[in-house]
Amino acid sequence: MKDEDDLRELRELLQQYAEATAEERNHLRPGVERAISNVLPGLLDTADARFFNGDYLKDMFDQCTKRALARPDLSPDRKINAREDWDDFIAFFNAAKQWQVPKLAAHAFEMTMLGIFAGLRAGLNPVEIDELRAKFLSERQRKVAEKGVEDRRNKEWRKFAKDETVRLHSINPLLTLTDITEKIIKAWEPLKFEKVKQQQLFRYLSRLLDKGELPSSITRRARKT
């Protein structure tokens, strides 16, 4: 009889919870969780564990992929995309499982699940999904390309500045960081790579000095005018 009462209470609470506003759900949640534990002891602990360790996400992604591959209306190209997405997901998933901070991985798993739920609720058809995927990939590739160009540009002037600082200091240890900065500005003037202004160069060399990547005997003392 008690089991029937517990089950009846759970059904009533779940109905209230489904019809409640977000604010009302905050008040109802403890009672719902207590009712679930009375009917199915240990269920919430197991669900929480699977939720935060990513098992729930992996199962959900696996089921979505299997359903996509089983659809008769999905073209072979789209099924290939589904398999590729699964392979990429597994690679990222396994990498996240190795993170040193489990809480960060749990947040990543939760965020991914929210994304899946949002996509399911949107009810996109295969064509719309492909368009969204193509847009994401093109934007991602553009950002990667832009970052690569920026990194190459930064790498050239940074490497030159660091090497030249070490060289100038070895020739004349009395040169201050200000002196070295001025000499580098003049030295790289004819060179064909993107450069920065003197103030930014000085800040960059100062950071290298702070991190111990330049000889500690270099002084920053600016020349008085």
N residues, the chain: 225
Token match 């030249």: residue?
A: 164
Q: What is the pLDDT of residues 55-105, one digit of tens each?
A: 878 888 888 889 888 988 888 888 888 888 888 888 888 888 787 777 777
CA-CA distance, 93 to 88, in Å (whole number)? Answer: 8
Query: Could you tell me if 84 and 126 lie in one domain?
Result: yes
Query: Could you tell me if 158 and 130 lie in one domain?
Result: no
pTM: 0.41
Which of 123, 144, 165 is the last residue in one of the domains? 144
Is the pLDDT at 192 greater than 60? The verdict is: yes
In a domain, 222, yes or no: no
Query: Could you tell me if 136 and 155 lie in one domain?
Result: no
Mean pLDDT of the residues in the chain: 79
Residue 221: left if φ>0, alpha if ψ -120 to 50, beta else—which one? Answer: beta
User: Stretch 172-186: mean pLDDT, rounded?
Assistant: 92
Query: Could you tell me if 104 and 185 lie in one domain?
Result: no
**Which amino acid, residue 147?**
K
In a domain, 37, yes or no: yes
Query: Could you tell me if 112 and 65 lie in one domain?
Result: yes
Number of domains in the chain: 3
Cβ within 8 Å of residue 79, ≥6 positions away: 68, 69
In a domain, 216, yes or no: no
In a domain, 217, yes or no: no
36: domain range? 2-41
Query: Could you tell me if 138 and 159 lie in one domain?
Result: no
Q: Residue 1: what pLDDT?
A: 46
Of 114-118, 154-158, 179-183, 201-205, the range with the lowest mean pLDDT is 114-118
